[in-house]
Amino acid sequence: MEKREPSMNISIFGLGYVGCVGAACLAHLGHNVIGVDVSQSKVDLINEGRPTIIEKDIEELCRSAHRSGKLSATTDVQRAINTSDISFIAVGTPSTAEGHLNLNYIHTVARQIGSALRDKQGFHVIAIRSTVLPGTNNRVGEIIAEESGKQRNIDFAVVSNPEFLREGTSVHDFLNPPLTLIGSDSQKATQIFRSLYKDIHADFIETDIRVAEIMKYVNNTFHALKIVFGNEVGNICKALDIDSHKVMDIFCRDRQLNISPYYFKPGFAYGGSCLPKDTRALRTLAHDNYISVPVIEHIEKSNDLQKQKAVKLISKYGCRNVGILGLSFKAGTDDLRCSPIVDVVETLLGKGFNISIYDKNVKISELTGTNREFIMAKIPHLQHFVTDNLDDVITASDVIVVTNKETEFNDILSRYPGKIIVDLVRAWEDIDYSGVYEGLSWGNINTHASQAASLNREIIGSEY
Ligand SMILES: NC(=O)c1ccc[n+]([C@@H]2O[C@H](COP(=O)([O-])OP(=O)(O)OC[C@H]3O[C@@H](n4cnc5c(N)ncnc54)[C@H](O)[C@@H]3O)[C@@H](O)[C@H]2O)c1
């Protein structure tokens, strides 16, 4: 006989779109679910076997879950906590008039759960299902600890478990999510969630709480960007009497560069002979046809900001001797045209920094054509700064800037301790470096104790 895992006892706070769908689906998966809401009418609906929302398939799920005794609801927080071991928070997180996140409902529920946990025995997991900014789980953990007098990760855990459903297809999306994401710092809580979601056939991803918290915002902002980009392309195409749907159909068929993980990793500005020229051309074409394309228009501005950010990062240590590892626009080429590091070097030279440059592919005397014209117009005296000896550049410099992923840079951390390394391209995934390491667009990946501690202090200071 097939061995079935025992069902779990779950309370869900908030019986709106997310809470009602979660309650019905978890009960459908065989768990015992009690919903909690401040709205008596929503509680009554669930207790009559009816959903609080209109959604495909939800009526039948609520009816059968209620009939089998797996789904009920209450306004009594203590009763819900006493009869469950896992509590989901699915209350609203609306925007304030200024665009900030209103966490009042979340904090109220945290206080209620904390106070109810005071007299309850056993380990309890609280999962935040609502969309919340990084730092919220931490604050909820503090509130629950204060109210309950219990210890986080010993008596209870708070995990982030963001919801990826879309209204209209929410039951299907709950049961078939793109992935299941748990942000957790408790192995025990993570194991409980693995078991809870064992019948959901999607990758189970366990990560840091703050990573999980920001994911939903990154996802939704990207979805919004896709829509706006498609519309701007459509508006340009319409002005030129081109069928935009044919264009975007073909666009979507490129699964190597367009609809793919390519180009998504945070790093340095784009450059080279094509991206700067072609984005500018499309923007100008739109302008010439009186089509406003604010997203496309601001791509180059954002790219320029990334170069300015690199200048600031290199300058912030107050050291005048800077070594640049890699001058061309990417590894494995001598193409300097629109290489973003050339702009950075130009700015640093203007500010009086002592620059030395190493790039095994760039031989100034051998540059020809537009490549030579470009660099001579930008930095005519470039030959004074470029050497073909990596060791000379690093020895002469206090700040080392890594601008591409040439394999010969892999071991510079072990060979040159005590430098300041500015990494523009995430040359290493995680490192243990006794010097200073800072990435352009990522937090500290340095596992060396002193640097990790300084990062923790910075993060704590930024939480609310
Ligand atoms: N709607 C979606 O498609 C969707 C998808 C993913 C994530 N989310 C996020 O999930 C969260 C909930 O969204 P929603 O659309 O379900 O909101 P909703 O407004 O439909 O439901 C929230 C429910 O919480 C209840 N509530 C408020 N205070 C409470 C308290 N102290 N105790 C118990 N219940 C309380 C309200 O009465 C309401 O029924 C939000 O953070 C939202 O951003 C929503």
Residue 314's closest CA among 344, 282, 272, 357? 344
Is 284 inside any structural domain? Answer: no
What DSSP string runs through 190-255?
A: HHHHHHHTTTS-S-EEEE-HHHHHHHHHHHHHHHHHHHHHHHHHHHHHHHTT--HHHHHHHHHH-T
Residues 319 and 177 in one domain: no
- In 3-state terms, what secondary structure has residue 171? helix
Look up 338 and say whether it is catalytic: no
Could you tell me the pLDDT band of residue 154, with boundaries at 50, 70 and 90? very high
The residue to mutate among 18, 77, 87, 133, having the most atoms of ligand 1 within 8 angstroms of its beta carbon, is 18
Tokens 């609306």 identify what position?
Answer: 94
Q: Of 207, 234, 269, which residue constitutes the final position of a domain? A: 207
Pocket lining for ligand 1, CB < 6 angstroms: 13-19, 36-39, 42, 90-93, 105, 108-109, 130-131, 163, 165, 167
CATH of the domain at 132: 3.40.50.720
Looking at 207, 227, 251, the residue that finishes a domain is 207
Is residue 99 in some structural domain?
yes
Q: Does residue 159 sit in helix, strand or coil?
A: strand
- The pLDDT value recorded for residue 1 is 43
In the reported structure, the alpha carbon of residue 174 is separated from the centroid of ligand 1 by a whole-number distance in angstroms of 15
* Residue nearest atom 23 of ligand 1, based on CA coordinates: 14
Q: What is the number of structural domains in the chain?
A: 2
pLDDT digits (tens, 9 = 90+) for 287-334: 999 999 999 999 999 999 999 999 999 999 999 999 999 999 888 888
Give residue-wise pLDDT tens across range 164-215.
999 999 999 999 999 999 999 999 999 999 999 999 999 999 999 999 999 9
From ligand 1's centre to the CA of 263, what distance in Å? 35
Closest CA to 352 of 308, 326, 314: 314
Alpha-carbon distance of 198 to 4, in angstroms, equals 11
Whole-structure pTM value: 0.92
Structure tokens given for 174: 């709950």
DSSP string for residues in 276-333: HHHHHHHHHHHHHTT---HHHHTHHHHHHHHHHHHHHHHHTT--SEEEEE--SSSTT-
CA dist 106 and 104 (Å) reads 5
Domain match, 453 and 313 both:
yes
142 and 15 assigned to the same domain:
yes
Does the structure show a pLDDT above 60 at 464? no
Q: Which of 77, 14, 80, 83 is nearest to 42 (CA)?
A: 14
Residues 6+ apart with CB under 8 A from 168: 55, 56
Q: Is 242 helix (H, G, I), strand (E, B) or coil?
A: coil
Answer whether residue 377 is part of any domain.
Answer: yes
Residue whose Cα lies nearest atom 13 of ligand 1: it is 92
Indicate which residue's Cα is closest to atom 15 of ligand 1.
17
Residue with CA nearest ligand 1 atom 33: 37
CA distance 209 to 192: 16
Of the residues 21, 34, 37, which should be mutated to test ligand 1's pocket, given the most ligand atoms within 8 Å of the CB?
37
Contacts (Cβ under 8 Å, ≥6 apart) of 129? 12, 18, 19, 22, 88, 89, 90, 161, 162, 163
Residue 153 lies in a domain: yes
More confident residue, 456 or 336: 336
Query: How many CA atoms, within 13 angstroms, populate the side-chain half-sphere of residue 192?
Result: 24
Place of tokens 């300015």: 308
Q: Is 426 found in the same domain as 319?
A: yes
Of 85, 82, 80, 67, the C-alpha closest to 34 is 80
Please report the pLDDT score of residue 68 as a whole number: 97
Statement to judge: residues 30 and 156 lie in one domain: yes
Domain assignment present for residue 215? The answer is: no
- 4 lies in some domain: no
Tokens of 90: 């699915």
Whether residue 139 sits in one domain with residue 24? yes
- On whether residue 265 sits in a domain, the answer given is no
Residue 291 lies in a domain: no
Average pLDDT of every residue of the chain: 94
Mean pLDDT value across residues 336-349: 94
Is the pLDDT at 143 greater than 80, yes or no?
yes
* Of 267, 108, 268, 88, the residue nearest 192 (C-alpha): 88
pLDDT tens per residue, range 71-117: 999 999 999 999 999 999 999 999 988 888 999 999 999 999 999 99
Amino acid at 398: D
Strands (E), 14-123: 32-36, 71-74, 86-89
CA-wise closest residue to 390 among 422, 424, 354, 359: 359
CA distance 424 to 441: 8
List the structure tokens of 100.
């900030």
Burial (Cβ within 10 Å: 0-12, 13-18, ≥19) of residue 196: buried
* 147: three-class secondary structure by DSSP: helix
171 and 54 assigned to the same domain: yes
Residue 411 to residue 402: CA distance in whole angstroms: 12
User: Which ligand 1 atom lies nearest to the CA of residue 108?
Assistant: 31
Q: Strand 204-207 and strand 32-36: pairing?
A: unpaired
Domain that holds residue 437: 303-462
On whether both 51 and 171 belong to a single domain, the answer is yes
Residue pair 131/162 in contact by the 8 Å Cβ criterion? yes
Tell me the helices (H) and strands (E) count for the chain, helix number first.
Answer: 18, 14
Element (H, E) at 182: strand 180-183
Same domain, 44 and 189: yes
The tokens describing 437, both together, are: 């390491």
Summarize pLDDT for 220-275 with one digit per residue, the tens. 999 999 999 999 999 999 999 999 999 999 999 999 999 999 999 999 999 988 99
Domain closes at, from 207, 223, 240: 207
Handedness of CA 112, 115, 121, 127 (dihedral sign): positive
Instruction: Judge whether 440 and 267 are in contact, CB under 8 Å.
Output: yes
Residue 118 DSSP code: T
In the sheet with 386-387, reading across from the earlier edge strand, the strands are 386-387, 354-358, 321-325, 399-402, 420-423, 436-439
